[in-house]
């Protein structure tokens, strides 16, 4: 891959996606960054103090660049009472689930900002090489502080309109997320009525390239070198892979999730809001089928409401009551150590581009 210009000080055009909920770990980030890619850890759903420990653990393992990804909080509920009522109705619907898994559902789970301010203070204090954001654009003063601390700011976008907003917000690079991506969609602006997100990730990269002049990483459904080559040919500087790393020994994904990813019984992925209130792609299971129709648009309250249920389902070895985030090409997953996976991906990419 010599001669390619890469941002973030990476040697190879492979980014290991941040995966909140335990998927990505400091060990994974170290392995990937040491192998020449860019490793990421996820700050989402973790207290800032735990994220600090993650950063220190990475720095003990490598001097190479790495990233930390933060969730941008949405606005506080415009109508708190209406949201509370909607979540209470969903809570009632989930009572049989609570009984089934032997847990108590929290009363009135509250909106929160996932310690956004503390996490920004931490990223600035730690001078992290790459600060990534999803679910929105960080405010301008946050981008300024990160730039002053020497961080590269990456914002995840899922449409040309979001790409323009992220460029205006001061992003140094974008992660372009297609609809095949595992986990949550970043979506933070309503798409124009005439625009449909393309199924082909390379096409989305081309569309974004027409409206912004920033380095682009492409994410969503990439499992091999052919997928990486396709997005590089469309003008991305790197490919970002999440699901591909979920069965690496360094992955912190729950064993029930890891097993489901290769279980022939799970044939499809689908978008769902049933677990968190916000659209994400996962292996289609019973919980999604039964609750998709009635879940309110209340993130992160629904995430907090179902957290205990999902944990109990995992502990009881039942893949049907928990979120099994996965991209739509999950069947291409391989059981390889993260560093070896990067090596194989690069060999395949070189062969595909030759």
- Which residues of this protein are in contact with ligand FMN, per CB under 6 A? 17-21, 23, 42, 44, 69, 134, 156, 177, 180-183, 219-222, 240-244, 325, 327
CB 30 within 8 A of CB 58: yes
Q: How far is CA 146 from CA 46, 47, 139, 149, 330, in A?
A: 20, 20, 11, 5, 34
Q: Is 9 left (phi over 0), alpha (psi -120 to 50) or beta?
A: left
> Least separation, in Å, of the C-beta of 234 and ligand FMN?
16
> Least separation, in Å, of the C-beta of 177 and ligand FMN?
5
Rounded distance between C-alpha atoms, residue 209 and residue 207, angstroms:
5
**Comparison of 31 and 86: residue with beta carbon closer to ligand FMN:** 31
> Least separation, in Å, of the C-beta of 269 and ligand FMN?
9
- Strand intervals (E) in 130-268: 130-134, 152-157, 173-177, 183-184, 216-219, 238-241
**Comparison of 18 and 39: residue with beta carbon closer to ligand FMN:** 18
**Comparison of 19 and 105: residue with beta carbon closer to ligand FMN:** 19
Bridging pattern class, strands 173-177 and 216-219: parallel
> Least separation, in Å, of the C-beta of 33 and ligand FMN?
16
State the residue for tokens 């689908």.
270
**Comparison of 174 and 241: residue with beta carbon closer to ligand FMN:** 241
**Comparison of 23 and 39: residue with beta carbon closer to ligand FMN:** 23
**Comparison of 101 and 188: residue with beta carbon closer to ligand FMN:** 188
Count of CB atoms within 10 A of residue 209's CB? 17
Rounded distance between C-alpha atoms, residue 42 and residue 40, angstroms:
7
> Least separation, in Å, of the C-beta of 23 and ligand FMN?
4
Q: How far is CA 11 from CA 8, 190, 211, 258, 315, in A?
A: 9, 36, 27, 29, 39
Q: Which residues contact 243 (CB under 8 A, 6 or more apart)?
A: 182, 223, 261, 325, 326, 327, 329, 330, 333
- Token duo for residue 344: 């194989």
**Comparison of 44 and 86: residue with beta carbon closer to ligand FMN:** 44
> Least separation, in Å, of the C-beta of 274 and ligand FMN?
16
**Comparison of 86 and 333: residue with beta carbon closer to ligand FMN:** 333
> Least separation, in Å, of the C-beta of 193 and ligand FMN?
25
Is the C-alpha dihedral spanning 283, 286, 289, 292 positive or negative?
Answer: negative
Residue 317: name the closest of 264, 247, 252, 258 by CA: 258
Residue 71: name the closest of 158, 135, 24, 120 by CA: 135
**Comparison of 166 and 222: residue with beta carbon closer to ligand FMN:** 222
How far does CA 295 lie from the centroid of its chain? Answer: 21
> Least separation, in Å, of the C-beta of 136 and ligand FMN?
11
> Least separation, in Å, of the C-beta of 183 and ligand FMN?
3
Q: Could you write out the DSSP letters of every residue in 71-127?
A: EPP-PPPSSHHHHHHHHHHHHHHTHHHHHHHT-PPPSSPPP--TTHHHHHHHHHHHT
């Amino acid at each position: 891959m010599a001669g390619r210009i890469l941002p973030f000080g990476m040697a190879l055009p492979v980014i290991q996606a941040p995966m909140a909920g335990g998927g990505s770990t400091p060990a994974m980030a170290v392995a990937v960054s040491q192998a020449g890619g860019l490793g990421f850890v996820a700050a989402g759903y973790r207290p800032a103090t735990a994220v600090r420990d993650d950063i220190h653990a990475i720095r003990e393992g490598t001097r190479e660049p790495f990233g930390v990804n933060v969730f941008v909080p949405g606005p506080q509920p415009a109508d708190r009472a209406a949201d509370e009522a909607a979540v209470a109705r969903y809570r009632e619907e989930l009572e049989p689930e609570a009984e089934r898994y032997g847990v108590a559902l929290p009363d009135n789970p509250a909106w929160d900002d996932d310690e956004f301010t503390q996490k920004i203070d931490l990223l600035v204090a730690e001078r992290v090489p790459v600060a990534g954001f999803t679910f929105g654009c960080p405010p301008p003063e946050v981008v300024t502080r990160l730039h002053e601390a020497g961080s590269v700011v990456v914002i995840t976008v899922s449409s040309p309109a979001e790409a323009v907003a992220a460029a205006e917000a001061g992003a140094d690079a974008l992660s372009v997320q297609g609809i095949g991506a595992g986990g949550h969609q970043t979506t933070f602006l309503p798409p124009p009525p005439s625009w449909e997100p393309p199924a082909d990730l390379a096409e989305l990269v081309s569309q974004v390239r027409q409206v912004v002049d920033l380095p682009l990483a492409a994410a969503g459904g990439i499992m091999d070198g052919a997928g990486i080559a396709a997005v590089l040919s469309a003008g991305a500087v790197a490919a970002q892979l999440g699901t591909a790393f979920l069965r690496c020994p360094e992955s912190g994904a729950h064993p029930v999730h890891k097993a489901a990813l290769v279980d022939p019984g799970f044939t499809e992925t689908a978008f769902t809001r049933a677990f968190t209130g916000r659209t994400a792609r996962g292996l289609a299971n019973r919980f999604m089928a039964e609750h998709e129709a009635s879940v309110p648009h209340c993130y992160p309250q629904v995430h907090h409401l179902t957290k205990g249920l999902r944990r109990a389902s995992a502990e009881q070895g039942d893949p049907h009551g928990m979120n099994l985030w996965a991209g739509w090409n999950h069947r291409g997953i391989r059981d390889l150590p993260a560093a070896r996976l990067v090596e194989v991906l690069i060999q395949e990419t070189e062969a595909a581009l030759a």
